A and B are shown apart, each in its own frame.
Chain A
Amino acid sequence: MSGSVAVIDYGMGNLHSVASALAHAGADRVLVTHDADLIREADRVVFPGVGAIRDCMAEIRRLRCDQLLADALADGHKPVLAICVGMQALMSHSEENGGVPCLDTIPGEVRYFGNPLVGSQGERLKVPHMGWNEVRQERDHPLWQGIADLTRFYFVHSYYVDAIERELVAGSVQYGVTFDAALARDNLFAVQFHPEKSHTAGLRLLRNFLEWNGQC
């Protein structure tokens, strides 16, 4: 039983695909909301995000989603999954939009891929990093269960996460640089890719999240 899942809606883009992927992965009940009581009562919390970081941070703060997220994380055993810009928002600071302070939940920087970006064979790499790339599992985690190392997930982003505490890195990807594709700390799992758009592997990761007890 997954119990209820609250997808935090701070007004940035469509969250239906996240919600329907969670339902498809077996969630008992999915709520797309920024209602404080509903999020507090939920058994699990998903913190998504699309678009530009400055607008996201402004809405997160305006709707007090930062406090709700902090409460969920402090709960200690309520599983929290952050996705894409949701993951970036957890970091200390982002280079996007001329530099934006973020939530500082996880110490580290969100950096631009750089222009030009060059691959290991000297080839030019396109930005945004868009498409299916291999995620190296840097350590075991309940959310990787049943997913082979180097499985491809769907990415679309121009900025990447670089956490200071390297022991938090649960998955990494090579794209001109090696960046943090997944971070894990206590009851939090954060991913740069879109599990809701990553077909079988993504649905499996969401199912693992729904079955996770928040410990690792």
Chain B
Amino acid sequence: MGLAKRIIPCLDVENGRVVKGVNFVDIRDAGDPVEIAIRYNEQGADEITFLDITASHEGRDTTVHTVEKIAEEVFIPLTVGGGIRTVDDIRTMLNAGADKVSINTAAIHNPDLVRESAERFGSQCIVVAIDAKRVADVDGQPRWEIFTHGGRKPTGIDAVAWAVRMAALGAGEILLTSMDRDGTKNGFELGVTRAITDAVEIPVIASGGVGNLDHLVDGILLGGADAVLAASIFHFGEYTVPEAKAYMAARGIEVRL
């Protein structure tokens, strides 16, 4: 027995409200991120990821306030991502009570932000989010590139090489989302998951495409991921976190029950 594989529900939050909606049968307010985070905490989620998609600057203050309220009530690790651009943004979120901050586009524009923030706050709280999309094979080998703007804009950066570079700069964890699979419910893109988990020493969270519990199992057993992140299968009550854990445990995966 040893370290458990983690299950991480993800909340997409805009102006302090969960945007994709959550259908717990007995929840009072399906859009309140604090109430939803508490619910996942009670269900035995191993961590919670909070993805802020607020565009406006004013909305950001709401986000900070929401993070503060979650941190007062939820005693499992909380990762906050979305719109993190500077060391000050990271400090603001950590001070609000986030345990980890996820950096995505800002790392592409300024890779040094990863090094600087890891040195300042410690690698343990710096997650680099990678949005990868499969592109044309090279010499018969599959290749994945980093895309920005929700998967619309290619960067030309090789996703595996990028993960290695981010780890070298001090990232403590990689949050890998397949843009080919995100929202499809067809399962993780296992090729890129395996390629990146094999290439880096740091933990990798697989994300994008979960539609059933076998997908979670595949992400761990075939993709080699250390944690699996899912949103809709939990939000819409298709599965609970304990159901997912029991399913994974029955397939020989070590989980925290």
A residues apposed to B, CB below 8 Å: 13-14, 16-17, 20-21, 24, 50-52, 115-116, 119-120, 125-134, 150, 152, 154, 156-158, 174-175, 196-199, 202-203
B46 nearest CB neighbor, chain A only: A132
List B1-38 residues whose CB lies under 8 Å from chain A.
1-6
Q: Give the contacting residue for B202; candidates A127, A133, A203; CB below 8 A.
A: A127
Report the number of A-B residue pairs with Cβ-Cβ less than 8 Å.
Answer: 98
B47 to chain A, nearest CB (A): 8
Contacts of A198 in B (CB 8 A): 75-76
Contact B124–A199 (Cβ < 8 Å): no
11 A-B interface contacts by CB (under 8 A)? A14-B97, A16-B68, A51-B121, A52-B122, A126-B201, A127-B202, A133-B4, A134-B2, A154-B76, A156-B172, A197-B75
Contacts of A129 in B (CB 8 A): 3
Complex Cα distance A150/B226, Å?
Answer: 20
With A131-B6, A174-B2 known to touch, is A116 a contact of B201 (CB < 8 Å)?
Answer: yes
Contact A196–B75 (Cβ < 8 Å): yes
Contact A132–B119 (Cβ < 8 Å): no
Contact A16–B121 (Cβ < 8 Å): no
Complex Cα distance A174/B5, Å?
Answer: 15
B109 to chain A, nearest CB (A): 25
B132 to chain A, nearest CB (A): 19
With A13-B122, A152-B256, A154-B77 known to touch, is A128 a contact of B3 (CB < 8 Å)?
Answer: no
Q: What would 4 more interface pairs be, CB under 8 Å, given A14-B96, A52-B122?
A: A132-B256, A152-B4, A158-B123, A198-B76
B residues apposed to A, CB below 8 Å: 1-6, 41, 44, 46, 68, 71-72, 75-77, 94-97, 99, 119, 121-125, 172-173, 201-204, 226-227, 256
Q: Give the contacting residue for A203; candidates B75, B95, B99; CB below 8 A.
A: B75
Contacts of A16 in B (CB 8 A): 68, 71, 95, 97
Contacts of B203 in A (CB 8 A): 126, 128, 130-131
Contacts of A174 in B (CB 8 A): 1-2
Contact B172–A128 (Cβ < 8 Å): yes
Q: Give the contacting residue for B124; candidates A14, A126, A156; CB below 8 A.
A: A156
Contacts of A154 in B (CB 8 A): 76-77
**Listed residue (A21, A156, A158) with the most chain B CB atoms within 10 angstroms of its CB:** A156
Contacts of B227 in A (CB 8 A): 131
Contact B172–A197 (Cβ < 8 Å): no
Complex Cα distance A29/B138, Å?
Answer: 62
Shortest 9 CB-CB contacts between residues of A and residues of B: A51-B122, A132-B256, A132-B4, A156-B124, A126-B203, A152-B256, A133-B3, A20-B72, A14-B94
Complex Cα distance A132/B16, Å?
Answer: 29
A200 nearest CB neighbor, chain B only: B75
With A198-B75, A199-B75, A203-B75 known to touch, is A130 a contact of B99 (CB < 8 Å)?
Answer: no
Contact B121–A13 (Cβ < 8 Å): yes
Contacts of A130 in B (CB 8 A): 124, 172-173, 203, 226
A154 nearest CB neighbor, chain B only: B77
Complex Cα distance A77/B1, Å?
Answer: 37
B254 to chain A, nearest CB (A): 9
With A128-B123, A130-B124 known to touch, is A202 a contact of B201 (CB < 8 Å)?
Answer: no
A116 nearest CB neighbor, chain B only: B201
Contacts of A50 in B (CB 8 A): 121-122, 124-125
Contacts of B96 in A (CB 8 A): 14
With A20-B72, A150-B1, A199-B41 known to touch, is A128 a contact of B202 (CB < 8 Å)?
Answer: yes
With A17-B99, A127-B201, A158-B123 known to touch, is A132 a contact of B72 (CB < 8 Å)?
Answer: no
**Listed residue (A52, A115, A150, A199) with the most chain B CB atoms within 10 angstroms of its CB:** A199
B13 to chain A, nearest CB (A): 19
A109 to chain B, nearest CB (A): 20
Contacts of B1 in A (CB 8 A): 134, 150, 174
